Amino acid sequence: MKTTFTLISILTLSLLGMDAKAAFSKLHLNLFNDGNFVVVVDGMRYQNVSGQLRVPNLRAGTHHIKVVEVFGRQNYGRRGGRVSGREVLYNGSINIPYRSAVFAHLTNDYRIRISNVQQLQAPRQRVRHHPRRRGPVMNNGVRRGNQYGLTLRLMENTAFDNRKLQIAKNYVRGNRVTSAQVAGLMNTMAFDRNKLELAQFAYRFTIDKNNYFLVNRSFTFDSSVRRLNRFLSGQTVPNHRRR
C-alpha cells in the first residue's frame, strides 16, 4: 500500500512538473559575433557567450539583464577609450510574455531590442477526478467553480491571440474584474496590440481603476504603455469637455 501511494505521488509530481515547464518562456539573445561576453539574467551568470545566448524556463514578466564584454588584455572598448579587462554594454530589463519564444538582439547603440515573439505550443489539458471533491478538477488545481481561473487556463491553452482576446472580452463583459486580473489575462497573450485592445476594453469593467497602472507590466514595449496612458487620459476628461 505504501509503495502504491509513493508511486502515485511521484507520477503526480511529474505531471505537474511537465505542465509547469510547458508554461515557461524562452529568450534568444543575439550579441556581437566578434566578442566574448558574460551575460547575467536575474542573477544567473552565463560565461563565455559569443553570438547567441539561449535562456530557457523564464516566467512571464520583467527580467533584469546585464551584458559585459570581456577582453583578454588591455584594449579599446566598443564605446571608445582604453579599457582593462571588461566593459558593461547593457544593464537593464526586458519583458517576457507568457509561454513565448522571444528573439532579441543587442543593437549598435547598446540597447536590447525585441525583433520577434513566437507563442509556444500549449500543452494538452488533462482532467482528473478528486475523490474528496465534487466535479472534475484540472491538473493545475483550479476547480471548475473558479470562473476567472478557468478563463485564464482556457486562454493559456488557446493557440492564437485573436481567439484569446475574444475569450477575455467575453469574461470581462460579464464580470467585475480587478486591475490585477486584467494584467493576468494580458500575460497569456504574445502580442502587444492584442494586450492593448484588451486593456482599453476592460478599463470600464474594472472595479479598482486607481490600480490600473498594474497592467503596464504586462506590455513588452514602452510604446504600448504610452498609448494606453493616452487612452486613459481621454477616459478621465469630464463629459462637458468631450463635447
Q: C-alpha cell of 202?
A: 476592460
- What are the residues facing 30 on neighbouring strands? 52, 105
In a domain, 42, yes or no: yes
Contact 70, 85 (CB under 8 A): yes
* Close Cβ partners of 120 (under 8 Å, ≥ 6 residues apart): 22, 25, 26, 99, 100, 101
Determine, yes or no, domain membership for 13. no
Tell me how far apart the alpha carbons of residues 1 and 17 are, in angstroms, rounded to a whole number.
24
Domain membership flag for residue 82 = yes
Q: Is residue 212 part of a domain?
A: yes
pLDDT exceeds 60 at position 236: no
| CA-wise closest residue to 98 among 179, 19, 22 | 22
Domain count, the chain: 2
Q: Please give the mean pLDDT across all residues of the chain.
A: 78
Whether residue 127 lies inside any domain: the answer is: no
**Domain contains 225:** yes
- Kindly give the residue spans of alpha helices, DSSP state H, lying in 67-178: 147-156, 161-173
- Specify whether the CB–CB gap between 117 and 103 falls below 8 A: yes
* Together in a domain, 43 and 88: yes
What DSSP state is assigned to residue 158? -
pLDDT in tens, 26-72: 899 998 877 889 999 998 899 888 888 999 888 888 899 999 988 76
Q: Determine the pLDDT at residue 1.
A: 47
Q: Are the C-beta atoms of 184 and 176 separated by less than 8 Å?
A: no
164: pLDDT strictly greater than 60: yes
150 shares a domain with 192: yes
- Please say which residue of 104, 119, 134 terminates a domain: 119
pLDDT at 140: 41
pLDDT at 3 over 50: no
